[in-house]
Structure 1
């Protein structure tokens, strides 16, 4: 169904009279004389509703009274053949759009006090009862006065849905403002605010169409837009689609394993799809191909592949069942609650801290997290601990701080990547996770920049390369490229031990790091934030063990002792090497591990997501350590916002 709205003219009088008699009881019917006056009145507006499919045939009408600050719905009527088809919601949305465009603060109306069904319908559309009007229609026939505060026109929503005809959008309970294309293009309210998230639901994304320009303008205004111009372009290039989706190959084939046909299609609405079996896949596809609505066509040869992806628009959803489904997904998408309880103070920014309550050795202990929260609240930042189950809440925050052990092949990386894609400040950023998670990368990087490391070779999963073991001076240390906390790190004392352990490591990785063994009583850990030393610790080797961690130890604590020192008590050469190494990774929060052997400083590795435990890393700075971290996050948010403002003025 498709409808048009226009102002009534004198030639519409016969239809308006017929509609009055068909729809309204005698005591509510308007006379011919009154209708004529309404047609010529500056105070009143009569709109005709037309069915565009049925040759523009009039099917209904509504009358509006225009007061100084309020718009009154005097009457709404539809011919009986169009009852119970959802058209009333379309009309009401049109009226709300009209009210917003003409700066009416409220919409008021009266409804029969005995018509509870209609009263409930208006309540569903956010009208509230304000008064009982006794004997309003005639003696003994009362009315309920109802009011709608024009929040959609005045509330500062972050989510903006841009659509060709906003009155056709029938879901009014979502946490988003629905506006027209022309309003988005012309209204200065939407020109200079980079905080807006624009959802482009225009009827076409073709080159130089309105939909194309909405995404283009949003990008120029520094606003987050879905779909972006890049996504619109990428959908048209088959090789790009398959390349971008390459990492989902295993998930695609696992999800579609039981499908017997050689072709399959999946419709995705706001990252969701109705069949539970495909919801994880739909969510992952949405993270890669951000568009409100799209269809993914899969084809199976030896394995399942994406054949193509087709974007469809709000206008293309013409099936009532499908539209209801889409609206339910919109509610889920936009109405995710950020907080389980109301905030008691006004905070300038919101910070999500990703944790895993079940992690045995998290990078921050409970007291450390509490101190971080206190520091954040003190500086006007609301801090909420989130878990992997809260991935849909990410876009409600200004920044993400990961306090869970990270890895590339892990949801922590996906959180980081998603937060970065949302334009958020994120520590650890995805690039730091990538660079810190792989010791092969770091070895090449440090070698290129002449930073001293233990002598290192990289062994590939090839029997002939094992001949290199003959030339080694034992003992040596073998490392899985993404090893952490001493896991995947093995000391071998001879060639035979090396072969045995390499065969185990090659089952997990095609490449393995082999380093000379340099013993030291302790490793330096220099915490670096914004390329500035933050804390310094000596981590001592576990007693009777060659590493800081001994996971085979029978004691409750597998780690060695520690000493935290003021930065000015750390050898200057250690600080210089730590800063140089960290700067090659990025400007995030890093823990740089170093050794001093024979008075030479060796870089062991740079870790993202370093430990910040109350009672350990904060032993010197105390609460100032957490203040510094929060200050950095605030500064990053402000810089990001200022960059957006600069872009808008260029």
Structure 2
């Protein structure tokens, strides 16, 4: 397996280690040869993992390409979450106190080089932090409070920030890690038989209406769950539950993702799981994933500042532009003219180093196939809003939606269902809504959505209450398996 160190600039990693190749983030993201590489470990040492910066996309697209990134995109998000870092500090409180007991000052900084520290006394703490937040170079900052030491901050560290006196140790730690001598991950623990359903009464477009939420509650009770709704300010209660079912629109820079990560860290069964949220909410990832696995989709370009002038030539006009985390028709625009194209692309690239451009394929409706645990559960047709090219037409503060109708899985075209199941399988075994179009006899995947809409009278029109039992039945089965596995 090839080992790649990816940096913002080549001078950021001046070490020449046997069997390790160094390249820039720009090359890794834009050179097609790296996209086609089937097997690689990617050590992401970019200067910033900021959301939608190049360092963020290195870890995200490494996962889409089947490579093994360090840090993973999940760890990148964890490092940005004070809640997750506080959780880590609590889990390691005894080890932190033991390791830092001789320290006389009120503050202490611990450097982590591939899970190791220069001082043998702190090596166990360095390994434990690496197990929770696997990343090549980290700086942990601790503060002494009245009740003891706490972890205040954990952040990536650039090679240039490594003290000269630590360079030889860093080289040794890197060589050991690259040769396969890596810290082992800690095991997760299991919880109890209670289900938390995350909802937000203030959300304007929730994924389930009140009638559907009540049917989920009734189905859960019938299966043996004690179902309780929790809100956005109750993340501290997650340890009370055995499973978390998110029925609020998810996003990465959002409390829903923090809930998913925290629940997973606590050992809960989680739907939507954090990996599914990360993958489904980013159109750049989905475009790369579908292309790699040769699943038919509209002709697509990953656009950056150096290739934006090729959009019209390769995709024609009109063309659809999507910001990476667009949802519910927000952040998606259709562009008709070349001059407008330049303006729109420039606007979107202000917020993300990569965006998606896709050929425009008009159809009267989109298919939506609901998939969970590798099985198709329902099929809907979402018709375009009257006089508009999308399902939802937003007008100022209001909106108009097209009609929707449902079919049984057996009534839907076999190619639509099979393609949806295959596409969802690339994300995981969670609950997904796969959007597809039929164009000239071809079935094309438009998006794979986590947290799909399930409203009473629409998605449940065929299976009715059985749909809710099917979904919660999968969660109950997973909880049972985890419970039995812990006994």
TM-score (norm 1): 0.49
- Select which of 344, 355, 367 maps to 1:524: 367
Query: 1:499 aligned to 2:342?
Result: yes
Q: Residue 270 of structure 2 aligns to a residue in which SS?
A: strand
Q: State whether residues 265 and 297 of structure 1, in contact with CA within 8 Å, keep that contact through their aligned partners in structure 2.
A: no
In the alignment, the residues of structure 2 paired with residue 240 and residue 635 of structure 1 have an alpha-carbon distance, to the nearest angstrom, of 30
Q: 1:490 to 1:203 in 2, by over 3 A?
A: closer
Q: Residue 381 of structure 1 aligns to a residue in which SS?
A: coil
Gaps of 5+ in 1: 1-196, 207-228, 247-262, 270-291, 308-347, 646-650
Equivalent runs, 1:161-310 vs 2, <5 Å: 201=94, 233-235=127-129, 243=137, 265=143, 267=145, 293-296=149-152
Q: Which residue of 1 aligns with 2:112?
A: none
Query: 1:480 aligned to 2:319?
Result: no
In the alignment, the residues of structure 2 paired with residue 236 and residue 367 of structure 1 have an alpha-carbon distance, to the nearest angstrom, of 44
Cα-to-partner distance string for 1:446-477 (whole Å, 9 max, x where unaligned): 11111100001111034x64244344311110
- Select which of 441, 454, 468 maps to 2:298: 454
Q: Which residue of 1 aligns with 2:269?
A: 425
In the alignment, the residues of structure 2 paired with residue 576 and residue 357 of structure 1 have an alpha-carbon distance, to the nearest angstrom, of 36
Q: State whether residues 271 and 430 of structure 2, in contact with CA within 8 Å, keep that contact through their aligned partners in structure 1.
A: yes
Q: State whether residues 93 and 149 of structure 2, in contact with CA within 8 Å, keep that contact through their aligned partners in structure 1.
A: no
Q: 1:268 to 1:552 in 2, by over 3 A?
A: farther
Q: Which residue of 1 aligns with 2:117?
A: none
Q: Which residue of 1 aligns with 2:68?
A: none
- Select which of 396, 403, 417 maps to 1:575: 417
Q: State whether residues 540 and 562 of structure 1, in contact with CA within 8 Å, keep that contact through their aligned partners in structure 2.
A: yes
Q: Which residue of 2 aligns with 1:609?
A: 451
Gaps of 5+ in 2: 1-89, 100-122, 164-191
Q: 1:364 to 1:297 in 2, by over 3 A?
A: closer
Q: 1:493 to 1:408 in 2, by over 3 A?
A: same
In the alignment, the residues of structure 2 paired with residue 636 and residue 230 of structure 1 have an alpha-carbon distance, to the nearest angstrom, of 33
In the alignment, the residues of structure 2 paired with residue 546 and residue 297 of structure 1 have an alpha-carbon distance, to the nearest angstrom, of 47
In the alignment, the residues of structure 2 paired with residue 487 and residue 391 of structure 1 have an alpha-carbon distance, to the nearest angstrom, of 27
Q: Residue 458 of structure 2 aligns to a residue in which SS?
A: coil
Relative contact order, CA 8 A, sep 6+: which one is greater? 2
Q: 1:553 to 1:643 in 2, by over 3 A?
A: same
In the alignment, the residues of structure 2 paired with residue 504 and residue 242 of structure 1 have an alpha-carbon distance, to the nearest angstrom, of 34
Cα-to-partner distance string for 1:286-345 (whole Å, 9 max, x where unaligned): xxxxxx95354899x9xxx999xxxxxxxxxxxxxxxxxxxxxxxxxxxxxxxxxxxxxx
* Structure of higher CA gyration radius: 1
- Select which of 217, 220, 224 maps to 1:373: 217
Query: 1:437 aligned to 2:281?
Result: yes
Q: Residue 642 of structure 1: CA displacement?
A: 2.9
Q: 1:499 to 1:629 in 2, by over 3 A?
A: same
Q: Which residue of 2 aligns with 1:510?
A: 353
Q: State whether residues 242 and 306 of structure 1, in contact with CA within 8 Å, keep that contact through their aligned partners in structure 2.
A: no
TM-score (norm 2): 0.64
State how many pairs are aligned. 343
Q: 1:621 to 1:203 in 2, by over 3 A?
A: closer
Q: 1:201 to 1:512 in 2, by over 3 A?
A: closer
Query: 1:560 aligned to 2:402?
Result: yes
Q: Residue 477 of structure 2 aligns to a residue in which SS?
A: helix
Q: 1:414 to 1:266 in 2, by over 3 A?
A: farther
- Select which of 539, 544, 550 maps to 2:393: 550
Q: 1:204 to 1:504 in 2, by over 3 A?
A: closer
Q: Which residue of 1 aligns with 2:428?
A: 586
In the alignment, the residues of structure 2 paired with residue 626 and residue 240 of structure 1 have an alpha-carbon distance, to the nearest angstrom, of 37
Q: Residue 501 of structure 1: CA displacement?
A: 1.0
In the alignment, the residues of structure 2 paired with residue 644 and residue 453 of structure 1 have an alpha-carbon distance, to the nearest angstrom, of 42
